[in-house]
């Protein structure tokens, strides 16, 4: 959709009445995309295991949140540490919980769409998945690499 707001209207409060259509307006995408890219880069830097090194040639977008990243890294480390210290749940409990969640959200979920998204992902990484499935002992017993190949052949034929 062509943006009907001027850039000054986009920068001021005029856009508030259009907020339900924010994703469809080019002016919002143009204004917010760089901001969201900075936030996304900050999240990636916070979750990275490598050191966050900055220099005089570092982009200003990296410098903007540079002082906050160590604190964010601590949050991420604490989050994963807390998960690691949680008691393990059994496969039976996990299956029961997933079945209950599926039951609760059955009207919101399209099985065909989900399967297609999984297939798209599996197709994109087919070679790596096949190698991994062929190397894994459990996967070998279940013949998962062969089954993945069958699914791929069926989807190509259709």
| Whether residue 12 sits in one domain with residue 72 | yes
Which pTM was predicted? Answer: 0.44
Rounded mean pLDDT, 92-110: 90
Q: Considering the domain boundaries, does residue 1 fall inside one?
A: no
Of 39, 66, 85, the position where a domain reaches its end is 85
Across the chain, mean pLDDT equals 82
Q: Is the pLDDT of residue 130 over 70?
A: yes
> Quick check: 131 pLDDT over 90?
yes
Measured between alpha carbons, how far is residue 70 from residues 41, 48, 91, 103, 133 in Å? 14, 11, 36, 41, 37
| 18 three-class SS | helix
Give the mean model confidence (pLDDT) for residues 13-39. Answer: 62
For residues 79-84, average pLDDT? 95
Pick the last residue of a domain from 23, 54, 85.
85
55 & 98 share domain: no
**In this prediction, what percent of the chain has a pLDDT beyond 90?**
42
Q: Which domain holds residue 101?
A: 91-157
Label residue 92 by pLDDT band (50, 70, 90): very high
pLDDT at 149 over 80: yes
State how far the Cα of 114 lies from the Cα of 108, in Å rounded to an integer. Answer: 11
- Integer CA distances (angstroms), 114 to 23, 119, 122, in order: 23, 9, 12
Say if residue 46 is in the same domain as residue 22. yes
**Binning pLDDT at 50, 70 and 90, where does residue 155 land?**
confident
DSSP state of 5: S
Which residues contact residue 10 at a Cβ distance below 8 angstroms, ignoring those fewer than 6 apart? 3, 27, 28, 31
Q: Are residues 100 and 76 in the same domain?
A: no
26 neighbors 2 (Cβ within 8 angstroms)? yes
- Over residues 35-47, the mean pLDDT reads 85
| Lookup: tokens for 36 | 């969201």
CA distance 133 to 151: 14
- Nearest-CA neighbor of 52 among 37, 65, 36, 38? 65
Q: Looking at the structure, do residues 108 and 75 belong to the same domain, yes or no?
A: no
Residue 69 makes CB contacts below 8 A (sequence gap 6+) with: 42, 45, 46, 52
Does pLDDT of 125 surpass 70?
yes
Instruction: Specify whether 81 is located in the same domain as 140.
Output: no
Residue where a domain terminates, one of 57, 85, 113: 85
Residue 104 within a domain: yes
- Give yes or no: residues 46 and 105 share one domain: no
Same domain, residue pair 71 and 110: no
pLDDT interval class at 18 (50, 70, 90): very low
């Amino acid at each position: 959709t062509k943006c009907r707001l001027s850039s000054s209207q986009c920068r001021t409060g005029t856009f508030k009445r259009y907020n339900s259509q924010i994703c469809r307006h080019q002016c919002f995408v143009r204004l917010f995309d760089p901001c969201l890219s900075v936030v996304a880069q900050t999240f990636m830097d916070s979750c990275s295991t490598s050191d966050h090194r900055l220099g005089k040639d570092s982009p200003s977008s990296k410098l903007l949140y540079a002082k906050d990243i160590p604190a964010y890294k601590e949050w991420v480390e604490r989050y994963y540490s807390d998960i690691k210290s949680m008691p393990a749940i059994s496969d039976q409990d996990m299956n029961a919980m997933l079945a209950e969640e599926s039951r609760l959200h059955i009207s919101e979920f399209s099985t065909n769409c989900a399967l297609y998204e999984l297939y798209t992902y599996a197709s994109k990484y087919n070679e790596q998945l096949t190698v991994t499935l062929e190397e894994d002992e459990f996967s070998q017993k279940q013949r998962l690499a062969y089954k993945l190949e069958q699914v791929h052949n069926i989807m190509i034929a259709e």
